[in-house]
Structure formats: structure tokens, C-alpha cells
């Protein structure tokens, strides 16, 4: 299984500006290790050796068939379900690696850094590119987003990635966060929703 992720895929994410978007003519894709995957509402144990840990909420899609060099108009055939995911980042390490032009997997792919909720068949929704999602922390909504605000839509991302990597059944794609990260604190309780469907519920330890 491969875990693909997209860096800064929403214009109003405070990390980027319109000028930055103009300079980038394609999505920024990176990998997360399969050993980083955390599911079934298991707790996330905050590492004590990586400095400040932040998290962001993202819509995640599940690949359901083998595909290579997929035309965008056919991309919708290659994923069958969506969920909400949480991407954990060792922030200081991430910035250090980026500033040196180095790969940043060490800061985003450590054990437990990739959380996903329960899958919902995409056919349950009229349009996956018009989904509202939000993440509550300790009972308060902290993140909100809508997939219609993506810079690169889901079908475009799948088509682009498939130019370089063969997609296989079970691969997953984190589609980017609409806002900047929040620092993880012990005993934080995270609950994630797509529309009115609760798909994620876990604690930081």
C-alpha cells in the first residue's frame, strides 16, 4: 500500500500566498510510510523526541483499482470511498529539512503520523468535490473545509500521480489541508466529520 499526500492544496491555507501558487504549476506530492498509518480510533502517542507536533485535517480518498497514466476524465473510476484523515508533523524538523531543500519524510512519516477514519462509499454523496468536513478538538470545531476549494481537484490529483506511479487497490491519497496546523497536546480528543457523518474519534496520549 502506498500513502500519497499533497502539500498546500488550498489557497487560503495561511502557509501559502497567491504568488506562491502562480510559481507552482503542478501539485506537490510526497509519500508517507505505511508504518505511519493509525486507524480504528487508536490513540496517537505524541513522540517525546521530535519537538513540537502539529496536526491538520484532510479529506482522504481510497484507490480501488489498478491504474497507470489515467486521463483525468476517467479518474473518478479509480477511487470508491472517502474519509477524514489527520496528518501529524514534527514542525521544527519539517521547517529545518525544507529550508535545506531536503526530503521531509522524517517529519511527516514517523509511526502514527497518518491517521484515517472510517471509509464512506463516495456514491453516498452527490458530488465528492462539494463535501464539507470539519475536525472538533475537545468538543470545539477547529478545522473546517470544503472540497470545492481545492486548488487541484481529486480527479486531477489522481491523473497527475498516475503519470509517475502505478496506482494499486488499497492505496490512499491525502488531498491537502485547508488550514495551518495546531499543536498536539496530551489528552486532546479529536473527532472528525464529513458532512454529518462522524468518521474519526481518537485521543492524543
Instruction: Check which CATH number belongs to the domain holding 100 and give it.
Output: 3.90.850.10
The answer to whether the CB of 155 falls within 8 A of the CB of 27 is no
Task: Domain count for the chain, please give it.
Answer: 1
> What pLDDT sits at residue 25?
75
Total H helices, total E strands in the chain? 4, 13
Q: How far apart are the first and last CA of the chain?
A: 27
Residues of the chain with pLDDT under 50: 14, 16-18, 21-23
> What pLDDT sits at residue 180?
82
The answer to whether the CB of 187 falls within 8 A of the CB of 28 is no
Q: Residue 62's domain spans which residues?
A: 3-204
- Let me know how long the chain is: 205
H-helix segments, 9-152: 18-23, 91-99, 105-108
H-helix segments, the chain: 18-23, 91-99, 105-108, 154-161
pTM higher than 0.85 for the full model?
A: yes
User: Which residues in 118-147 are b (16+ Cβ under 10 Å) and which e?
Assistant: bbbebeebeebbebebbbbbeeeebbebeb
Q: What is the pLDDT of residues 123-138, one digit of tens each?
A: 999 999 999 999 999 9
Amino acid at each position: 500500500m502506498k500513502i500519497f499526500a499533497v502539500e498546500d492544496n488550498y489557497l487560503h491555507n495561511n502557509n501559502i500566498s497567491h504568488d506562491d501558487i502562480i510559481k507552482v504549476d503542478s501539485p506537490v506530492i510526497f509519500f508517507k510510510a505505511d508504518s505511519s498509518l493509525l486507524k480504528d480510533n487508536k490513540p496517537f502517542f505524541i513522540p517525546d523526541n521530535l519537538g513540537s507536533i502539529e496536526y491538520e485535517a484532510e479529506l482522504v480518498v481510497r484507490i480501488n483499482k489498478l491504474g497507470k497514466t489515467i486521463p483525468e476524465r476517467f479518474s473518478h473510476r479509480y477511487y470508491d470511498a472517502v474519509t477524514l484523515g489527520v496528518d501529524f508533523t514534527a514542525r521544527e524538523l519539517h521547517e529545518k529539512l525544507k529550508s535545506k531543500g531536503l526530503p521531509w519524510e522524517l517529519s511527516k512519516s514517523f509511526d502514527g503520523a497518518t491517521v484515517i477514519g472510517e471509509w464512506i462509499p463516495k456514491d453516498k454523496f452527490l458530488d465528492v468535490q462539494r463535501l464539507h468536513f470539519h475536525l472538533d478538538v475537545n468538543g470545539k470545531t477547529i478545522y473546517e473545509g470544503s472540497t470545492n476549494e481545492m486548488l487541484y481537484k481529486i480527479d486531477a490529483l489522481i491523473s497527475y500521480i498516475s503519470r509517475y506511479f502505478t496506482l494499486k487497490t488499497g492505496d490512499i491519497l491525502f488531498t491537502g489541508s485547508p488550514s495551518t496546523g495546531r499543536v498536539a497536546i496530551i489528552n486532546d480528543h479529536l473527532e472528525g466529520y464529513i458532512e454529518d457523518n462522524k468518521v474519526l474519534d481518537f485521543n492524543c496520549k
